[in-house]
Structure 1
């Protein structure tokens, strides 16, 4: 029996101001279920994390949530997931999420999402993995980040090949197509 592909979703523990972000999170969760892929995420039931998880669950997806003990209350750790892993710290959380995923998707989020993106991007840059990384660029949210990466390349602090390690996609249909291509 073939193994179910798993998609790690990094995203905000807040909903953000633009309702399009929560809509995209729900659409992402539903899409993962429709494709038969497992959601791997930060196990919170708040913000975009909660939106993507509830939508994935409602559509029948298998879910793996990973959360450190110190965030169980703050991020309202979901106990009704297919599997819940409680870690000691944030580093372990990211490692468990990464190790249990075949692809990474970054929805809008704040400092934590940026940290997660740059960690997996750095690992790709130094050859530690070849997992595809996608920024879900809803309403152009990630354009300043893409511009910053391009700026680091232009200023000589990164090789132009850095841009080959991730792709920004505008919406969930484009994300679906990109994941299908990457996971096939």
Structure 2
């Protein structure tokens, strides 16, 4: 199934419309989603007006070397951590010269990672003025579902930041309409 026809298309379109209206750009740093955030955004026609690029930092050492995530933080807490997600978002924003940086890091399964159970995910959005929002998710389902829900969640986090809709319905735990689902 293409990213354009899945459940993320409406939120990706809304994110891009808000960014274009504001004259702002976005970049993504992805771990467990492995490029799915970038794929969801770039599936929308006209995405080039706002998308700067993405970094798939799957390996922990890449998070440090490329995105500038603190090595002591990674060594002490592991890659599945809210502060790591925040540093990833700020790092990709800086690296790619974007107004907004997004990040995903977590455990898609099948095994526990860094002592964190499958379904533990952190998403982050870093924006102008040093503002960074991090959200922890506790997701159910198989690897594909966890990854798609992570994409949806990070896009919704950014959309909320762009529209200042802090009261939006929270459907992070255990589902919702996931992206990239058949």
TM-score, scaled relative to structure 2: 0.37
* Greater relative contact order (Cα < 8 A, sep 6+): 2
Q: Which one has the largest radius of gyration?
A: 1
Task: Indicate the structure with greater helix content.
Answer: 1
TM-score, scaled relative to structure 1: 0.36
